[in-house]
Amino acid sequence: MPTSYFEGYRCGACGREVPSGSAAAECPSCAGPLLAVYDLALMRRLVRDVPSLAAGGGPGIWRYANLLPPYARRVSLGEGRTPLLDSRGLGRSIGVPELFIKDESANPTGSFKARGMAAAVSRLADLGVSRAFVPSAGNAGLALAAYCAAARIPCSVFIPSETPEGVAEECRLYGADVTVVPGLLPDAAKALDALVGSDRAGVVSTFREPCRVEGKKTMAFEIEEEISPDWIVFPTGGGTGVVAFWKAYGELEALGLLRRPMPRLAVVQSEGCAPLVAAWRDGLDRAAPWPRPETVASGIRVPGSRADALILRAIRESGGAAAAVSDADILDGVRELGREHGLFVSPEGAAAYAGLKRLAREGTISPSSRVVVVNTAGGARYRFLLDPYER
Ligand SMILES: [Zn+2]
d(C-alpha 38, C-alpha 17), whole Å: 12
Alpha carbon of 19 to ligand 1 centroid (Å): 14
Average pLDDT score over residue span 223-249: 96
pLDDT, residue 4, reads 75
Of 6-10, 47-51, 268-272, 283-287, the range with the lowest mean pLDDT is: 47-51
Give 388's pLDDT tier (boundaries 50, 70, 90): low
Alpha carbon of 11 to ligand 1 centroid (Å): 5
**Residue 247 pLDDT greater than 60, yes or no:** yes
Alpha carbon of 33 to ligand 1 centroid (Å): 7
pLDDT, residue 307, reads 92
pLDDT, residue 3, reads 61
Q: pTM of the full predicted structure?
A: 0.96
**Residue 2 pLDDT greater than 60, yes or no:** no
Alpha carbon of 74 to ligand 1 centroid (Å): 28
Alpha carbon of 20 to ligand 1 centroid (Å): 16
Residues above pLDDT 70, as percent of the chain: 98
**Model confidence pLDDT, tens digit, residues 174-221:** 999 999 999 999 999 999 999 999 888 899 999 999 999 999 999 999
**Residue 1 pLDDT greater than 50, yes or no:** no
Alpha carbon of 143 to ligand 1 centroid (Å): 28
Contact predicate 205/192, CB 8 Å: yes
Q: Which of 184, 203, 182, 70 is nearest to 132 (CA)?
A: 203
The residue extents of the domains of the chain are 6-67, 84-111+210-389, 113-196
Phi-psi region of 80 (alpha: psi -120 to 50; beta: other; left: phi over 0): left
**Residue 276 pLDDT greater than 90, yes or no:** yes
Residue 211 has phi, psi (to 5 degrees) of: -100, -15
**Residue 84 pLDDT greater than 90, yes or no:** yes
Alpha carbon of 121 to ligand 1 centroid (Å): 23
pLDDT, residue 385, reads 83
Alpha carbon of 234 to ligand 1 centroid (Å): 27
Alpha carbon of 122 to ligand 1 centroid (Å): 24
Alpha carbon of 26 to ligand 1 centroid (Å): 8
Q: Is the CATH number of domain 84-111+210-389 3.40.50.1100?
A: yes
Give 52's pLDDT tier (boundaries 50, 70, 90): confident
**Residue 91 pLDDT greater than 60, yes or no:** yes
Average pLDDT score over residue span 106-110: 97
In the CATH hierarchy, which top-level class contains the domain 113-196?
alpha beta
Alpha carbon of 306 to ligand 1 centroid (Å): 12
pLDDT, residue 57, reads 72
Q: Which of 43, 88, 64 is nearest to 221 (CA)?
A: 64
Greater model confidence, 384 or 332: 332
d(C-alpha 257, C-alpha 249), whole Å: 9
**Model confidence pLDDT, tens digit, residues 303-315:** 999 999 999 999 9
Contact predicate 117/204, CB 8 Å: yes
Cβ within 8 Å of residue 56, ≥6 positions away = 2, 62, 63, 64, 65, 66, 67, 68
**Residue 387 pLDDT greater than 80, yes or no:** no
Find residue 178's DSSP bridge partners: 157
**Model confidence pLDDT, tens digit, residues 111-141:** 999 999 999 999 999 999 999 999 998 999 9
Using only the alpha carbons of the chain, give its radius of gyration. Answer: 19
d(C-alpha 39, C-alpha 356), whole Å: 36
Alpha carbon of 34 to ligand 1 centroid (Å): 8
Average pLDDT score over residue span 81-97: 97
d(C-alpha 306, C-alpha 186), whole Å: 11
Three-state SS for 357? Answer: helix
Alpha carbon of 239 to ligand 1 centroid (Å): 18
Q: What is the mean pLDDT of the chain?
A: 94
Alpha carbon of 209 to ligand 1 centroid (Å): 13
Give, for 7, the enclosing helix (H) or strand (E): strand 6-11
**Residue 389 pLDDT greater than 70, yes or no:** no
Alpha carbon of 12 to ligand 1 centroid (Å): 7
**Residue 33 pLDDT greater than 70, yes or no:** yes
For residue 42, with 0-12 CB atoms within 10 Å meaning exposed, 13-18 middle and 19 or more buried, which class applies? exposed
Alpha carbon of 364 to ligand 1 centroid (Å): 35
pLDDT, residue 56, reads 67
Alpha carbon of 346 to ligand 1 centroid (Å): 35
Alpha carbon of 213 to ligand 1 centroid (Å): 17
Alpha carbon of 57 to ligand 1 centroid (Å): 33
Note whether 84-111+210-389 and 113-196 share their fold: yes
**Model confidence pLDDT, tens digit, residues 332-363:** 999 999 999 999 999 999 999 999 999 999 99
Alpha carbon of 377 to ligand 1 centroid (Å): 32
